[in-house]
Structure 1
Amino acid sequence: MDKSIERAEHNDVGTIRIADEVVGIIAGLAATEIAGVAGMSAGLVGGIAEMLGKKNLSKGVKVEVGEREAAVDLFIIVEYGVRIPDVALTVQENVKRAIESMTGLDVVEVNIHVQGVGFGSEVKDEDIRVR
């Protein structure tokens, strides 16, 4: 496969390859297990943040992986009423810890992009707006 798509590590036994999408899924799962995160965002469409289900966690994540380091951008939707800086810091710490422990990569940055606010399960996606 293309070197930009996966991380390869050579050892005495053979090669270990970790696809960028795997790192993205790890980051998405680590982010959504934090209290205050309503979900991942696919981005903005007409001023509306589109919330993704759990099957598309890597779609709300942008990962840049080098030989030994990784940088992650997460696009999240937070729950109404939470203190956003506290939630974002907790997400950064959890994502960094999860990626480093599972892949051995050194995570140099985890950037959080808050794309919207979720108001509960009874609110439609159209009501999750970015102001």
Structure 2
Amino acid sequence: MMNTVTTDYEKTDIGNIQIAPEVIEIIAGLAAVEIQGVAGMSAGFVGGIAELLGRKNLSKGVKVNVGQREASVDVSVIIEFGVRIPELAGEVQRNVKRAIESMTGLHVVEVNVHIHDVHFKGTEKVEEEDITLRVK
């Protein structure tokens, strides 16, 4: 059985409306990667290195705790090199809160942003080109 959230205001005359916590995780992930300077979501540290999930696994790197009317969210991201971290984290917090509240009606009491790594654009492209040249 899937764990879902049913709040009082989601009970209607013809039935209940239920939101799976995974849906809230995806909303939070989408809202986080919308912010310029976020390279992608992070699954945490694997062997001491943060794993960049990019934009494919948006619910990974997000943890939600949901009550009847409130939610708290932890978002783990990898940022682009050169961004101001406090400003970026604040934008992520505001966007995640806004998205969850507008789409679900839940009140978001906190959004914790965890920066797991810094992504260097130029370095990764060079490495990919080097690998391609060696394979040919």
CA positional deviation for 1:107: 0.3
CA positional deviation for 1:13: 2.3
Residue of structure 1 in register with 2:36 after alignment: 35
Structure 2: gaps spanning 5 or more residues: 126-136
Q: 1 or 2, which has the higher strand percentage?
A: 1
Distance 1:60 1:123 in 2: 21
CA positional deviation for 1:72: 0.3
Query: What is the correspondence of 1:22-61 to structure 2 with a 5 Å cutoff?
Result: 22-61=23-62
CA positional deviation for 1:35: 0.6
User: Over aligned residues, Cα RMSD in angstroms?
Assistant: 1.4
CA positional deviation for 1:121: 6.5
Q: What is the TM-score of this pair, normalised by structure 1?
A: 0.88
Residue of structure 1 in register with 2:102 after alignment: 101
Relative to structure 1, the CA distance from residue 61 to residue 121 in structure 2 (aligned partners, 3 Å threshold; closer, same or farther) is farther
Residue of structure 2 in register with 1:115 after alignment: 116
CA positional deviation for 1:91: 0.3
Residue of structure 2 in register with 1:18 after alignment: 19
Amino acid at match of 2:13: D
Residue of structure 1 in register with 2:84 after alignment: 83
- Percent of aligned positions that are identical: 66
Structure 1: gaps spanning 5 or more residues: 125-131
> What SS class does the counterpart of residue 14 from structure 2 fall into?
coil
Q: Which moved more, 1:44-53 or 1:32-41?
A: 44-53
Amino acid at match of 1:99: I
- Could you give the per-residue CA deviations for residues 17-52 of structure 1, whole angstroms, max 9, x where no partner exists? 100000000000000000110100000012200000
Residue of structure 2 in register with 1:6 after alignment: 4
Q: 1 or 2, which has the higher helix percentage?
A: 2
- The structure having more radius of gyration, on CA atoms, is 2
- Runs (4 or more) in structure 1 with deviation over 4 Å come to none
